[in-house]
A and B are shown apart, each in its own frame.
Chain A
Amino acid sequence: GAGVSQSPSNKVTEKGKDVELRCDPISGHTALYWYRQSLGQGLEFLIYFQGNSAPDKSGLPSDRFSAERTGGSVSTLTIQRTQQEDSAVYLCASSLDGRIRTQYFGPGTRLLVL
């Protein structure tokens, strides 16, 4: 594809349910990042993948959050037992070589936990 794609674009769920958010990076990009953007806030780093491994997952806010990447491509961010404070836009970015100059963001998934 031409850019980073994320699905779903919007997700409404009930408190306590699990959700999965998907990111399709730009083909050939080895680095992948997840960020969270809460209303009126800047972006908060969650996790970074290089290939299929995650050398930096220090931003995951709790053990309810996990992410995986398979085949060096698609990544899934899973939030278990969602809470209302998890409501935010979840942004994925990919980079050709880990450099900021080659990093592109997707449009995000807007998650609302009722």
Chain B
Amino acid sequence: QQQVKQSPQSLIVQKGGISIINCAYENTAFDYFPWYQQFPGKGPALLIAIRPDVSEKKEGRFTISFNKSAKQFSLHIMDSQPGDSATYFCAARVPSGSRLTFGEGTQLTVNP
């Protein structure tokens, strides 16, 4: 059962543009929603995360928007740079657990 759906599968933006990646979840018990960035040949690295009692969290050029009623959350990358080109994964965690359920990933390409 795919509990976290991510879109788009791939995304191409121009340098300086805004990259937007969306995720939708089914399990209302999820209590933590991290985003990961993965470069080729590397493991995923935590980028930014949000709890469901907050509607938005911003760290530098990265912002998570969270809509609890719609069970959706999204990652916005402002002023996208070629160095942001990577695969991005959203994830969700159930309370009292340590396992994460991941989305399918979005391959972002930022053209110079």
Contacts and interface: CB of A to CB of B under 8 A. Distances in A.
Interface of A: 4, 31, 33, 35, 40-45, 48, 50, 56, 58-59, 91, 93, 95, 98, 100-101, 103-108
A31 B43 contact: no
B23 to A, nearest CB: 10
A45 B99 contact: yes
Interface stretch (B12-20, B54-62, B63-71, B100-108): B100-108
Contacts of B98: 31, 33, 48, 50, 56, 95, 98
B6 interface: yes
Interface of B: 4, 6, 32, 34, 41-46, 49, 89, 91, 93, 97-105
A50 B98 CA distance: 10
Contacts of A91: 43-44
Main secondary structure of the interface of A (DSSP, over half): strand
Given A93-B43, A107-B41, A108-B43, A45 B104 contact: no
A91 B100 CA distance: 13
B86 to A, nearest CB: 14
Contacts of A106: 43
Contact of B99 (A40, A48, A104, A105): A48
24 contacts: A4-B43, A41-B105, A42-B4, A42-B103, A43-B89, A43-B91, A43-B102, A44-B102, A45-B99, A45-B100, A45-B101, A50-B98, A56-B97, A91-B44, A93-B43, A95-B98, A100-B32, A100-B34, A100-B46, A100-B49, A101-B49, A106-B43, A107-B42, A107-B43
Contacts of A40: 104-105
A101 B46 contact: yes
A108 to B, nearest CB: 6
Contact of B44 (A43, A48, A59, A101): A43
B96 to A, nearest CB: 10
A111 to B, nearest CB: 15
